[in-house]
Amino acid sequence: MSVSFKTLDLNLLKVFDAVMEERSVLRASQKVALSQSAVSHCLARLREMLDDDLFVRTATGMQPTARALTMAPQVRAALRALEAAVELPTFSPAASTKPFTLAANDFTTMVLAPPLLKILSREAPAIDLTIKPVTRIDLAEQIDLGRIDVAIGVFSTPPSRFRTALLFEYDDVLIVGRKRKLGRLDKAKLATLPLVVVSFGGEQEGAIGGFISERGLARRSEMYDRAALERALSESERPPRIAVSLPHFLALPALLVESELAAIVPRPLARALEQTHAITTCELPYTTTPVEVRLLWHERVAGEPSHEWLHEVLRRATEELRRGG
């Protein structure tokens, strides 16, 4: 007899699997919550469909035929796969070895990674992280393809396929080498300083208004409030001098410590550099627009337990930054 999977009642396979495991109609009936007669009826239907006895009653229980022994591993694997597909997924950080891939610039990595790794070592010691640069890649494409689980950065209004959540805010400050004694910093003095800024992309790379757009996702490329600086010095006899423009924050301490240069940087980064380098922070003589650093991920992973956990851990890792610490 030809068997069509399209007309196969999957409950018959559940009964088959239970009898295969228990080798008893009684125990199988208890396992699948059916009566013994219902289990016997299911076996009869399956025997007829497959044209095989499947199980033979003996003094030691229901013994499988060769056909049943061949079927059993595949039926069990299929049932387990179906259970996994329809049941709510769970995630256990302590036991998981799931790797995660983040995208972030060196500033956010510097202030986020230490507290994040402390949490992971305590709660999820077998989980590994890969952190990719948020620049020099097509970020939207990488998230669309699932190669990046979450991006961290400053984004303009993202396309509807992405979700975001606030991590922390910051404003700009000025940093100089500790040997440099600036005294009170006013606009006139600021106008005389050779400045270092960080920009992840210039006009030649499609940056407009300090943002680079790819596939509808616009991410911030200029890591300082250029408009506020230009407004502050608009009445100065000299425009602000951008002596050095860097593609990353990594080289800043080496440039500042033994030079006359000053750099405009995010406040959390200034705090971090003061702890590890001979750097001093000065308040700017103007107000910069607060910048929101956000998580960004694809809508298809919304509600997925491992991703929900990752986002929650990242928020915990930035708790001090949200408090301004």
Q: What is the pLDDT of residues 155-167, one digit of tens each?
A: 988 899 999 999 9
- Domain 100-169+293-322 fold is D-Maltodextrin-Binding Protein; domain 2 (3.40.190)
- Inter-residue contact 162 to 301 (CB < 8 Å): no
- Inter-residue contact 310 to 96 (CB < 8 Å): no
Indicate the CATH number for domain 5-86: 1.10.10.10
Strands 279-282 and 172-177, how do they pair?
antiparallel
Burial class from Cβ neighbours inside 10 Å (0-12, 13-18, 19+) for residue 214 reads middle
Reported as a pLDDT band with limits 50, 70 and 90, residue 136 is low
Say how far apart CA 311 and CA 118 lie, in whole Å: 15
Q: Would you say domain 172-289 falls under CATH 3.40.190.10? A: yes
Q: What's the token pair of residue 112?
A: 């986020």
Give the residue among 158, 112, 114, 113 at the shortest CA–CA distance from 139: 158
172-192 average pLDDT score: 90
140-152 average pLDDT score: 93
Q: Among 24-28, 34-38, 244-248, 314-318, which range has the highest average pLDDT?
A: 314-318
Reported as a pLDDT band with limits 50, 70 and 90, residue 6 is low
Q: Where in the chain is the domain with CATH 1.10.10.10?
A: 5-86
Q: Where in the chain is the domain with CATH 3.40.190.10?
A: 100-169+293-322, 172-289
pLDDT at 229: 93
Lowest model confidence (mean pLDDT) among 136-145, 189-198, 305-314: 136-145
Q: What is the pLDDT of residues 227-255, one digit of tens each?
A: 999 999 988 877 889 999 998 999 999 99
Sheet strands side by side (includes 207-208): 207-208, 211-214, 217-220
